[in-house]
Amino acid sequence: MSDMVNVFVVLACACALWAVVASLCMGAWLSHHGVKVNWIVFRALMPWYVHRYHQMTREVEGRVGSLFPQFVVPINLALLFGVAALIAMVAARG
């Protein structure tokens, strides 16, 4: 693999890890505020938990909580860097 592919893969992994930490923090926030969080199937229910966090923070604080962009931005960046890595891999072959 070329160096550019490695850079994109590392960036994608770092962004995915950032999103995982933010999602776990969201789950802890929801649990602290009375929402029963099922940690066993947390990954499968993550879209619901993100939506619930978005709604609850808007109701409680009057604005979206700080963890919401901390999840949405890196998960989209991970997708972007993953696609860039695939494109760089294909371009390096031929």
- DSSP state letter for 13: H
Q: From 29, 84, 85, 93, select the one nearest 55 (Cα to Cα).
A: 29
pLDDT of residue 58: 95
pLDDT of residue 63: 95
Q: Write out residues in the chain with pLDDT < 70, as ranges.
A: 1
Helix (H) or strand (E) holding 76: helix 67-93
pLDDT of residue 1: 64
Q: From 57, 68, 51, select the one nearest 32 (Cα to Cα).
A: 57
pLDDT of residue 22: 97
pTM value is: 0.87
Contacts of 21 (CB under 8 A, 6+ apart): none
